[in-house]
Amino acid sequence: MGSAISSATSGIRKIASKVGRFFSPSKRNFSYDHGYIASSSTGNSSYGRQYDAPSSSGNSFYDHGYNAAIERRKRNDNKETIRKFTVIYPLSFYPPSEAMKSSRDQNFSETALKTSSPIMSAYLENYYLHSENIHIIFRYLLEIEDLTVMSQYVGLQQKDVIIDSAGDDENREFIVKLNNTDNDINEIVGPFVDEVVVVPKHSAELAADVTGKIDVLLPHKHEHMRGFKFLFRRSGVVTSISKDVLRFRFNFDKNAEPLNVNGREKYNLIIRPMRLPLRYQYRALELLTEDRTTRQYLFPVENSKNLIQNPTRNINERTQRLSTRILVTSSSNSACDTIASGICKNINRSLLYRNQSNLLLRLFSNSALANGVNAIDPELLKRSNCKGGSHYYPAIEDIRKYRIIVTTLCLVGKLVTGGIGAGGFFTHIFIDEAGACSEPEALVGIMDIKSPKCEIILSGDHKQLGPVFKSQRAAELGLSKSLMERLLERKCYLLDERGNYDRTLQFRLNQNYRCHPKILGLFNHLYYNNELQAKAKPSDVNIAAKWHKLPNPNFPIIFQAVFGRTENDKRSGSCFNNRELQVSMELLESLLITGIDGCQVEQTDIAIISPYKQQCERFKKQLRDKKWSNVEIGTVNSFQGREKHIVIISLVRSFTSLGFVDEAKRLNVMLSRAKSLLIIIGNPVTLRRSADLKYILDECSKNGTFVNNDKKETPKHIKQRKQRKHQNKNNL
């Protein structure tokens, strides 16, 4: 899929460097980090359903819609100061099929799935995916995930609630005190990703009773009856949610009468997911259905004419290509931010490009601004759709004025509805962290964007965390395998018996510019067969060498033994360990208050990672109380692709099973985030059950950094169990 760059641990820096070089006259050699880059063809790709066959100049029907919108914009140029995004191709709702709804009633059993479709039945025999079934199988797997997510919302519906409001007409927010809080609604519903449908009592009385069914979440005909005040169901977006209170807003609708609440009238509320990411993926699969060329393109074979030659060939020619237009995308905002920041640095180094305002656009969504514009890198803010501190979606023709566009895959789906790819606009598409997104998600960044001359580059590391799903069933049926991971299983990408591979199709990057060599040594040995090379500058990764709590300055990895107790939060079920929390805060206090060798440690240089959300929430509360809110805290998934100088890991599991703590991909991510100092906190007795964790414990013991100054207290329930065993033995 075109030229290839990037890696697992500092690949984002490499993708930024490579993209920057498309616009830089520099001829410096590239340096690579470890990871896997799948490359495929620049072969022809049709544009899918409802469009005519593609031509070299793009799709005529597609271009006609786009050009018509441009003409309308031109006529209004004198009336508008900021041109806003316009949808040309509306996004369908894509409700789950009746067959899959029926299968859900049987927990998506193999028998139920086989009866749903002969193609699904054949797939379940050997899980063989090919160009003739990929669009159908992924549609079914997405529906399983979709129905699993929707099932959580069925019990959240509110009856007979009174709606209050606050703010002026343009910024009016509606407030509801919830009357059904048996479910942990704030654990399910999210601001800006879920919506509220306000149902007038008359509409509820006339509608069929679908209480407790998935159908309650599907669009109702009354949602389109704007002229009927007592029937019209308005939908708005959730702006905040707590256990007891829900807040939401309506998008401005000039054709609908505003909702006037009086504090007496009662309504029903339907709370449902907007499903935008899934709907964009459904649409990508729909386009793939009638696009056999692209389906074949996704299954490259050896000696295929579609496969490109060495992606570094003629790189100097590419760097001088003035028509280069690049889309850089990833599934997460954090990855996009890091890439965009790296590109900014490359641009600012160039005398030729540093003052060009239309070179880079970091396109943010509404949800990315939940923490406010002050949380965004000022350099990115200058080159974003949040200029002046307010967010807006620019018109497509204004977006297309930029030569590098960086945004998430979900927002790429939105741009496609406005015709962003018309006329073969992009010459290159970079999908970073490609091992962390599902194949349908990656297709959102390809369908209706790739043209015959467009090169696609996947970068990432399939040995780290893959995509996350609510439905374990959909994951195990194949949805959890990324496009990158599947491609690397193709014969043309495999290593030979000597470890060689076809460099015309991929790069395997093995130079690590992030970590201290000893930190690198842990995950290098465990997961990369010692193939990685430490290339970080010593001055960048030795900042913790003189910390007074580090026993060995040459081995900046501490295992702090803690014998706390794993507990479960009653509401969420997530695990936490208060003793590990206490010890972590003591170490953090030493770093922030005492510093290292007389130098202050910045909060922004430290991260705390835990596999469990409840442990993270408890850390956040402690840090808020101490006003250390700039120390970043998150689960393993949220830190994939990130890095910090100092990382503290709280593993939580103690005197219990290991849960998912010892999953190889999860451990790999945790171990590879730290640049200069890695502190692991846990119960060594429990953790030694894992071969990988035992290796880490042994390495710390060997290097004198296994710290065991915590009093070992056996939990009460284990003491009681031992006493019962002893009594039973005496009774024999």
Please, what CATH class does the domain formed by 278-302+321-508 belong to?
A: alpha beta
DSSP E strands: which ranges in 359-454?
A: 360-362, 404-408, 428-431
In whole angstroms, what is the distance from residue 452 CA to residue 442 CA?
18
User: Is residue 27 scored above 60 in pLDDT?
Assistant: no
pLDDT at residue number 722: 60
User: Is residue 215 scored above 80 in pLDDT?
Assistant: yes
Please tell me the least confidently modeled range out of 44-48, 95-99, 654-658.
44-48
Mean pLDDT of the chain: 84
pLDDT at residue number 33: 37
pLDDT at residue number 63: 53
Architecture of domain 158-274: Beta Barrel (2.40)
Where do the structural domains in the chain lie, given as residue ranges?
A: 98-152, 158-274, 278-302+321-508, 517-716
pLDDT at residue number 729: 63
Same fold? 158-274, 517-716: no
pLDDT one-digit tens code per residue, 120-145? 999 999 999 999 999 999 999 999 99
Average pLDDT on 9-23 reads 52
Average pLDDT on 62-77 reads 54
pLDDT at residue number 17: 58
User: Is residue 287 scored above 70 in pLDDT?
Assistant: yes
Determine the 3-state secondary structure of 495 from DSSP: coil
Q: How confident is the model at residue 306 (pLDDT cuts 50, 70, 90)?
A: very low
Please tell me the least confidently modeled range out of 247-251, 525-529, 645-649.
247-251
Please, are residues 85 and 393 in contact by the beta-carbon 8 Å criterion? yes
Architecture of domain 517-716: 3-Layer(aba) Sandwich (3.40)
User: Is residue 308 scored above 50 in pLDDT?
Assistant: no
pLDDT at residue number 302: 67
Average pLDDT on 28-48 reads 36
Nearest to 434 by CA among 7, 3, 130, 2: 7
Average pLDDT on 324-351 reads 90
- The residue written with tokens 């014998």 in the block is 563
pLDDT one-digit tens code per residue, 510-549? 899 999 999 999 999 999 999 999 999 999 999 999 999 9
At CB < 8 A and 24+ separation, what contacts does 523-528 make? Answer: 523/667, 523/668, 523/671, 523/672, 525/695, 526/664, 526/667, 526/668, 526/671, 526/692, 526/695, 527/463, 527/664, 527/668, 528/34, 528/463
Six-digit token string for 583:
């010890």
